[in-house]
Amino acid sequence: MSGQSGAALPGRTGLLRRVFTYTRPYRARFWLSVTLAFVLAAAAPVRPLLIDHTLEDVLGGGGGAAEAVITLLWRITALQLLILAVETGLRFLFAYLTSWMGQSVVRDLREQVYRRVLSFNLRQFDTTPIGTLTTRTVNDIEAVNDIFSEGLVPILADMLSIAAILAAMAWTDWRLTLVCLVPFPLLLAGTWLFKESVNRSFHRVRNAVAALNAFVQEHLTGMAVIQAFGREDREADRFDAINRDHRDANIRAILAYSVFFPFVEIVLACSMGLLVWYAARASYGLPAAAAAGVTGDIVSFILLLNLLFRPLRVIADKFNVLQMGVVAAERVFRVLDNPDTARDTGRQACRDARGEVHFENVGFAYVEGHPVLRDVSFHVAPGETLAVVGDTGSGKSTIVGLITRMYERDSGCIRFDGRDVREYRLDELRRQVGVVLQDVFLFSGSLLDNITLRDPSIRREQVEEAARHIGMHEFILRLPGGYDFAVGERGATLSLGQRQLVSFIRAVLYRPALLILDEATSSVDPESEALIRQATEALISGRTSIVVAHRLSTIRRAHRILVMEKGEVVETGTHAELLARAGRYARLHALQSADAPAPGER
């Protein structure tokens, strides 16, 4: 997590403005909520003033006959009820609108962020922890919601209310108002301290949550390692430490709240005490009518003070929420502004390709300054099978990733059917190339869903036919549920070899012009081995293919073999040619033949 502090961010207003551009589709509702803020502020002091009027002019003054006074009282009560009803209705509408706005903006923003993440170059996922991206698309965006539901417009509404109530107080009696405001500097100082303290704690809470997320996510994924090496206790201790930090940060925040709210009550009580003391002193010895006027003022002032403190209690908190929302928005926008997306600038369509591949002096590095491929050149003619062999880490998988532009080459040229791969539209290019990755990832769901990737245009019969074609139909029927076999998360319910077989079917289904098979390095049981060999043969025969091969059977079948060492091509030729050369390949072959279980079998 990039846990930068929320303080002193440049361009805070710029950020807010950008957040507010997301309200554009909902402009009418947005302005309605702003209007409501004004209306509610203006309505706030009306009822207390009406009470003041009742006490002062109706009861205290020459109200006239008793009957007339009672009628008037009834009218005033009805009016009070009406105002209360309207005010409550408008308040509900206001809260609903601001929350609705927040949720709508969040939905739009989240969709945009997720689409952006989908289009990222794979390089981004090598350098950004998955947990961070999850936090961006889930938690941070949630905080943006608060900008609307508790942030700017509600703060505006609160400030307007405060102003309206103060104005009403001053209009009623400016001396009493000043008396009430005497404890206010105390309140301002307390509010400031509270805001700072809560802000600090929340930053700690958020960092602790991120740390918890990252820890849990990584350790659940690596659970097998932890259990196999008996690290449960030690990892549990580390978890405890992070968890304790989370608790402490939260408790600090709670502490600030539990000190602040009673403190506000004390200030309110002081204000009221001063008010009563001052007014009682001033009215002492006045005639009855004038004293009733003072009583009316006191009552309305107490009501107004209560109203005044309502927004004062929460406004500091709202500022915190706003600030956190803005910091979260900044992080979210950083994802949106990340320019490292797959550049789909090619316009060339790609249909009925033959699958020819040219590598011309290709160079590539995952991390700048550490080249993984150097000056790699080769050619695969249509219909030909090229086997790529070499030590682990020599760059074999990297080669196949560059063809479909999972990563962008740094130098040289890669041609597909005679054209630079960058000239094709990315989706069209990738549709022509079927890839069986070395490390197959399966999504949780049925086997069928994993084969079709939930493409509804692919029928079950087609899948079965493809499976028969590579000799896998029986194997699948033996699984519980057959094609509806439930694949666990990350494909955990299948072995590595089985998972690769599943993606074989996927590759056949899409009838690619070029097939890329990156054989899994792990050894498998003899039965699966036979199945995989048979499937591989069915897969590559008659199709242009590049096979990163570990099985001698596959290597021997290839038209040509490319031997890689430390990112460079060290030998090319047919099996026989390379054996005759008695070089790198011949040594590899000798080693592997010694391992082979049944001579002649491989």
Interacting residues with Mg ion (CB under 5 A): 397, 438
Please tell me the distance from the alpha carbon of residue 399 to that of residue 415, in angstroms, as a whole number: 13
DSSP secondary structure code for residue 482 in this structure: G
Binding partner selected for residue 126 from Mg ion, ligand ATP, none, CB under the kind-specific 5 to 8 Å limit: ligand ATP
Please tell me the distance from the alpha carbon of residue 110 to that of residue 95, in angstroms, as a whole number: 22
Query: In whole angstroms, how close is the CB of 397 to Mg ion at the nearest point?
Result: 3
Contact pick of 103, 119, 377, 438 for ligand ATP (by CB under 6 A): 438
Select the span of 12-20, 169-177, 187-195, 388-396 touching ligand ATP (CB under 6 A): 388-396
Q: Tell me if 346 contacts ligand ATP by CB under 6 A.
A: no
Please tell me the distance from the alpha carbon of residue 411 to that of residue 166, in angstroms, as a whole number: 70
- Residue 416 pairs with which residues in a beta bridge? 357, 419
Q: Tell me if 110 contacts ligand ATP by CB under 6 A.
A: no
Give 249 or 388: the residue with its C-beta nearer to ligand ATP: 388
Give 214 or 372: the residue with its C-beta nearer to Mg ion: 372
Contact pick of 367, 580, 582, 590 for ligand ATP (by CB under 6 A): 367
* Structure token pair of residue 38: 């004004």
| Kind of pairing between the strands at 370-380 and 357-367 | antiparallel
Please tell me the distance from the alpha carbon of residue 226 to that of residue 248, in angstroms, as a whole number: 27
If DSSP codes are grouped into helix, strand and coil, which group holds residue 337?
coil
Give 177 or 394: the residue with its C-beta nearer to ligand ATP: 394
**CB of 109 within 8 A of CB of 141?**
yes
**CB of 9 within 8 A of CB of 326?**
yes
Binding partner selected for residue 394 from ligand ATP, Mg ion, none, CB under the kind-specific 5 to 8 Å limit: ligand ATP
If DSSP codes are grouped into helix, strand and coil, which group holds residue 223?
helix
Please tell me the distance from the alpha carbon of residue 77 to that of residue 74, in angstroms, as a whole number: 5
* Structure token pair of residue 158: 């609160």
Give 439 or 527: the residue with its C-beta nearer to Mg ion: 439
Give 281 or 370: the residue with its C-beta nearer to Mg ion: 370
Q: Tell me if 126 contacts ligand ATP by CB under 6 A.
A: yes
* Structure token pair of residue 539: 């897969």
Site string for ligand ATP, 512-531 (x = CB under 6 A): ---------x----------
Q: Tell me if 70 contacts ligand ATP by CB under 6 A.
A: no
158, exposed or middle or buried, with CB in 10 Å at 0-12, 13-18, 19+? buried
CA nearest 426: which of 406, 398, 400, 409? 406
Q: Tell me if 396 contacts ligand ATP by CB under 6 A.
A: yes
Contact pick of 397, 452, 500, 554 for ligand ATP (by CB under 6 A): 397
Q: Tell me if 394 contacts ligand ATP by CB under 6 A.
A: yes
Q: Tell me if 371 contacts ligand ATP by CB under 6 A.
A: no
Query: In whole angstroms, how close is the CB of 223 to Mg ion at the nearest point?
Result: 25
Q: Tell me if 405 contacts ligand ATP by CB under 6 A.
A: no
Which residues bind to ligand ATP, rule: CB under 6 A?
Answer: 126, 366-367, 372, 390, 392-398, 438, 521
